[in-house]
Structure 1
Amino acid sequence: MPENRPPPTSSGSLWRTVLKTLCTVGLTALLISLLREGLSLLPWVDRQTGQHIGASVLQVLAADGNASQQQMIAAGLMVLCFLLAIVLVRWGERLLDRRH
């Protein structure tokens, strides 16, 4: 049963929005950094496993040297990281709301 809580004040709502925005931006930057590090590990994974999956992924991302395709792929990956960050922040917000 939901509790009867007073609605948040406008200043509390503003601070919560600012906090969520900062968390989303920070988490997006972290996810992009992790993606870059993960991609740099693909050749090592290929050497360890004897497979060529990592090389195939890097070849697709290289887009045969086509700069505009590379930019589109990079932008798509950034948008994907941003969307994942939004989902994670909303999930975290719901977890925190349940605790209180």
Structure 2
Amino acid sequence: MTEAPPPSIARTLIKTVALVGLTAALMTSLRFSTTIANGVDHIAGTRLWSSLYSIAGASDATQRERLIVIGVAVACFLLALPIVQAGEWAVDRFRARR
């Protein structure tokens, strides 16, 4: 097996921008999709989130909203990460065919 060359700085920057952009796009989709927003509201009302509120010390509505936004950001990031990785894999395969 041959060893892959180390990734370039440009490629790392492109992947970082893609990851941040896709995460922001996924978070923005909550604003325009009532189905996704209703799902987040449902999850935020579960016992698990109630436990997280008490563990994090979120006693008022503002602190609870911040905790929800953090959860949404983490979930969107974790969803965006494999999408960017799959995109990188697809670009590598496309370049290898050429």
TM-score (norm 1): 0.63
Contact 1:24 1:82 in 2 (8 A): yes
Give the alignment's Cα RMSD to 1 decimal: 3.2
Contact 2:26 2:76 in 1 (8 A): yes
The number of aligned residues is: 82
CA displacement at 1:67 relative to structure 2: 2.1
Alignment gaps of 5+ in structure 2? 51-59
TM-score (norm 2): 0.64
What is the 5 A alignment of 1:1-100?
7-8=5-6, 13-39=8-34, 54=38, 58=41, 61=44, 66-99=61-94, 100=96
User: Percent identity over the alignment?
Assistant: 35
Which structure is larger by alpha-carbon Rg, 1 or 2? 1
Moved over 3 A (4+): 39-42, 56-63
